[in-house]
Amino acid sequence: MVGALWFDAGMVSTGGEDALKRARTALASGRLTLARDILEDHVHLHRDAEAFKMLGEIRHRIGDLPGAGAAWFATSAKGPIVDEAVGAWRTKHDDDFAAMWATIPASARRGELTPKLAALKARAEAAAPSPEPSPSPSPSPSPAPASTARAKAPKKVAPEPAATAPPVAVPQARAADPVRAPRTDEAAADRSVPEAQSGFDAAKVIAWVLAALFVVCAVVGLITILQWLVPGT
């Protein structure tokens, strides 16, 4: 199978004879997985054409055709086996160029690219979705100045005092009622005469006086209330 393949002898190799030797030793003892792991670690850091070729061969022997196609695509290998592996590689990723580019060995994706790798990279970049710009956060409203806040704040209006009627003057008890207080010289005569027989009723007089006083106070209170409610009256 190795004779059916030819590789670009001009691909720069950064050495790695020790890695290739260890991979061949593992391959000779039938440890294909160990040989593959050694070569994968090597080509991740070093661009080695011989290591690419051997990695593709080992993957092909294991049955990993897409992996073999990715390793061989990094070289100038040709032939039916290479075409079969590359076809399986493209089928696995459904011609997703970004995914195909990611499976190429890391060292082959750095530095100067072969024409095939350059074309694959261009298609991968064209197929990659452009990142959507993140929405800019809306600026938080700045606090209003203290003067503006005071201007917008409603003014507190002091409640008007409730209209109250002026106190009604209560007449003090009469010190001496001329009707009820008889003179000293007539005390004996008044005791003998019943109050009902006198022609003058003192209780009615007091009631009329109090009623008149209440009317006067009510009129004065009404006038005062009108002056408070209607200025200028």
Tell me whether residue 138 is in a domain.
no
User: Are residues 174 and 107 part of one domain?
Assistant: no
Q: CB burial class (10 A; 0-12, 13-18, 19+) of residue 47?
A: buried
User: Are residues 219 and 170 part of one domain?
Assistant: yes
Domain housing 213: 166-182+200-233
What's the pLDDT at 18?
A: 87
Tell me whether residue 227 is in a domain.
yes
Is the pTM higher than 0.95? The answer reads no
pLDDT tens series, the chain, 233 aa:
433 333 344 444 445 688 899 999 999 999 999 999 999 999 999 998 899 999 999 999 999 999 999 999 998 888 999 999 999 999 999 999 999 999 999 999 988 898 999 999 999 999 877 666 555 555 555 555 555 545 555 555 555 555 555 454 444 544 444 444 445 445 444 454 444 444 567 888 899 899 999 999 998 888 888 888 876 65
User: Are residues 212 and 112 part of one domain?
Assistant: no
Tell me whether residue 133 is in a domain.
no
Tell me whether residue 135 is in a domain.
no
Q: Crossing angle of helices 115-127/65-73, nearest 10°?
A: 110
What's the pLDDT at 157?
A: 53
User: Are residues 178 and 101 part of one domain?
Assistant: no
Q: Which residues contact 61 (CB under 8 A, 6 or more apart)?
A: 32
User: Are residues 59 and 112 part of one domain?
Assistant: yes
Tell me whether residue 141 is in a domain.
no
Tell me whether residue 144 is in a domain.
no
Distance of CA 19 to the CA centre of its chain: 54
Domain count, the chain: 2
Tell me whether residue 58 is in a domain.
yes
Instruction: Please say whether the beta carbons of 57 and 1 come within 8 A.
Output: yes
User: Are residues 25 and 115 part of one domain?
Assistant: yes
The owner of tokens 């006067």 is 216
What's the pLDDT at 70?
A: 94
What's the pLDDT at 199?
A: 56
User: Are residues 215 and 122 part of one domain?
Assistant: no
User: Are residues 23 and 123 part of one domain?
Assistant: yes
